[in-house]
Amino acid sequence: MLGPVFNREAIVAPKRLRTYLSRAIYLLAMFVLLATGYLVLAGTRSLTSASDLARFGSGMFGLLAPLQLLVLSSLAAVGSSSSVAQEKDRRTLLLLLMTRLSGGELVLGKCAASLLGPLAMLIVALPLFLSLPLLGGVSLEQVGLAYGITFSSVLLAAAVGTVVGLWREKTFQAIATTVLILVLYVVAAEIISGGPLGPGLSNLADRLNPVTAMGEALSPLASAFDASLPIGLGYAVTTTLVALLVIALGISRVRVWNPSREVRFRVPEPETGEDLRALRAATSSLVDGSAVASELRTADWRARAPRRVWNNPVLWREVCTWAYGRKIILVRFAFVALFCATAGMIVASVRSGDALRRFDRIENTLPVTTLPVAAIGVISLVLVNALAVNSVTGERDGLALDLLMVTDLQPSEFIFGKLLGVFYVAKEMILLPLSLVGYLGFSGAMTWENVAFSILGAIVLYLFVSTLGIHTGLSYLAGRTATLVSLGTVFFLCIGVAICMVIMVSFRGAFQLQLAPFLAMILGGGAALFAALGWRTPSTAIFVASFLLPLITFYSITQFLLQRDQLFVFATIVVGYGFTTAAMLIPALSEFDVSLDRDSGGGEA
């Protein structure tokens, strides 16, 4: 019904083992979260009354529903954009454009194919969510509304990822632009929902804001006395219409954007007088009025001096050329816009005095600047990691990695060239979040000691995510798989551990009773982390690091919340993440541990 592009994916997907592993792992992770919450609550009090079960059911629904929205939307956005970008990197999209496929079959086929995985996960988790109303505290209408919000959000994320992937030429451009567009979409909806532009736009923004819509699904009494269309249902309908409009835009522009100027015919510039005379002679034999003849005759030929290449050609290419495309400037502008919105919130809180209030453990509230700085920091880490993994997968998909391996290029030149190149290209995404921390120290919201610890710790994290991206790019054959594994690892370390802490904070009790289920969950995450990082080149160092990183992250967040000595937090992060970085970096510096036979194949997309 949607064309041969979707038909192929629908036929091939059931034959892949990862199709079933991804569904099983996702459902198991959701069930482990539910079981962990039950064990924590059962260890603190006896569940003898219906109110206790209702409290547990509503609390876990309030945790699992937003988590599912975030995970599946992120997976749909990154998966769809990387899938289309991989077609471009391998030049297979040009072959599709030369067939009789219509724009609708191409765009709808790629978008629907990227939705197979997230929607399958959404369906397999439905029985788990339907078990929560049996406990009480959650109604079937809430579950249905949450699923409608999640489905429309996943559809919008996949539509944006597919269209941006068709619009942009490079993989990093597609992924980064998709992430920033969706984040700016939510930020703009949040700002407009505050009512600075009038009640009319505020009501419209509420129906475009996933945060407000999911909040209504979690609180059914929020719209019980509202005779108009509920916000959650309005969000599902409006977001679906927006997704259809985005897809329609992609259908109308797919053959305009592709092939892009970067892959179209270009007349080479002669560097000597003999080349110029040869081109003019060739021009005289062309038919007058042809496009090529006109371009050759009117061109202003100038001899160009050869460019001097550095001793490290990998670093020279990353710094002195547009290795990731010229449109990466748009990614930088989008990140600067997101940074300006975050900085505006922080400056407003500093001027009002809210940011200068000290943390009060009795009130159990975070400083107002914590979440904005953490959000922009996590987005920055994700973008740097995506850039690092794409710096290797782009070489692999372009068949340039095979050529590099047969030259006299040393492994250290390749690895450090890629690392330094990533830091240079992503300098705005690194320096701007660090400048926010410096501003907080200058304004008095943070002590200069904590500012120094935060900046140095952030540098270690940036080095870790960059090394992680290069490690996964060298370890996995398919660029899409490498991207998902690398970003999934960062997501688990940033969000997964925080979810565990939310469970422990939501159901307060004795820590010794909460420790056992929490450790079981952390150990399961460590096993998955080891499978992702060391499945091809396992080592003792990677094994130890995989199980230590979740515990180290948990300890660092706990010490921050308890306002203990921040030196221990800094030392823990440096030792833990520094050790993991070395565990991935040392084998990569020893030799190019990449198989030529596997790299030259088609690979599983």
593 CB-near residues (< 8 Å, 6+ apart): 474, 537, 587
| The CA-based dihedral angle spanning residues 193, 198, 204, 205, taken in that order and rounded to the nearest 10 degrees | -20
464 CB-near residues (< 8 Å, 6+ apart): 577, 578, 580, 581
Query: In terms of C-beta density within 10 A (0-12 exposed, 13-18 middle, 19 or more buried), how is residue 54 classed?
Result: middle
pTM exceeds 0.85 for this model: no
What pLDDT digit, counting tens, does each position of 291-303 carry?
445 554 554 545 5
> Does residue 179 have a pLDDT over 80?
yes
Q: List C-alpha distances in Å: 404 to 189, 319, 477, 592.
A: 46, 18, 16, 10
Query: Which amino acid appears at position 352 of this protein?
Result: S
> Does residue 264 have a pLDDT over 90?
no
Query: Which amino acid appears at position 229 of this protein?
Result: L
Q: Which two tokens stand for residue 107?
A: 């765009």
| The CA-based dihedral angle spanning residues 151, 156, 159, 163, taken in that order and rounded to the nearest 10 degrees | -170
- Provide the pLDDT for residue 155: 95
- Provide the pLDDT for residue 244: 94
- Other beta carbons within 10 Å of 125: 21
d(CA 171, CA 168): 8
Query: Which amino acid appears at position 551 of this protein?
Result: L
Domain boundaries along the sequence of the chain: 4-257, 313-356+366-599
When pLDDT is cut at 50, 70 and 90, the band that residue 279 belongs to is low
d(CA 351, CA 345): 10
Q: If you average pLDDT over residues 531-546, what whole number do you get? A: 82
- Provide the pLDDT for residue 598: 45
Q: List C-alpha distances in Å: 185 to 146, 156, 161, 210, 337.
A: 20, 11, 14, 10, 12
d(CA 171, CA 390): 7
- Given a contact cutoff of 8 angstroms between Cβ atoms, the answer to whether 381 and 490 are in contact is yes
Count of positions (residues) in the chain: 605
What pLDDT digit, counting tens, does each position of 220-250 carry?
665 444 545 678 888 999 999 999 999 999 9
Q: If you average pLDDT over residues 461-465, what whole number do you get? A: 93
What pLDDT digit, counting tens, does each position of 185-233 carry?
888 888 887 666 666 677 777 788 888 888 888 886 654 445 456 788 8
- Provide the pLDDT for residue 602: 40
Q: If you average pLDDT over residues 433-443, what whole number do you get? A: 90
d(CA 132, CA 495): 23
- Given a contact cutoff of 8 angstroms between Cβ atoms, the answer to whether 115 and 154 are in contact is yes
- Provide the pLDDT for residue 600: 40
Q: Which two tokens stand for residue 593?
A: 């541990």
- Provide the pLDDT for residue 195: 61
- Provide the pLDDT for residue 336: 92
* Least confident residue range of 33-42, 81-90, 250-259, 328-337: 33-42
d(CA 301, CA 537): 52
Query: In terms of C-beta density within 10 A (0-12 exposed, 13-18 middle, 19 or more buried), how is residue 224 classed?
Result: exposed
Helix axes 210-218, 171-193, angle to 10 degrees: 60
What pLDDT digit, counting tens, does each position of 6-30 carry?
998 889 888 888 889 889 989 988 8
d(CA 414, CA 430): 22
- Given a contact cutoff of 8 angstroms between Cβ atoms, the answer to whether 385 and 469 are in contact is yes
Q: Which two tokens stand for residue 131?
A: 């078990």
Query: In terms of C-beta density within 10 A (0-12 exposed, 13-18 middle, 19 or more buried), how is residue 139 classed?
Result: middle
d(CA 472, CA 529): 12
Q: If you average pLDDT over residues 543-564, what whole number do you get? A: 76
> Does residue 274 have a pLDDT over 80?
no
Q: Which two tokens stand for residue 425?
A: 């290209």
- Given a contact cutoff of 8 angstroms between Cβ atoms, the answer to whether 172 and 390 are in contact is yes
Q: What percent of the chain has pLDDT over 90?
A: 23
Q: Which two tokens stand for residue 477?
A: 């054959």
d(CA 411, CA 112): 40
- Other beta carbons within 10 Å of 556: 21
What pLDDT digit, counting tens, does each position of 320-364 carry?
888 887 778 888 999 999 999 889 888 888 888 776 666 555 444
- Other beta carbons within 10 Å of 200: 8
d(CA 510, CA 505): 11
What pLDDT digit, counting tens, does each position of 484-516 carry?
888 888 887 777 666 665 655 555 554 555 566
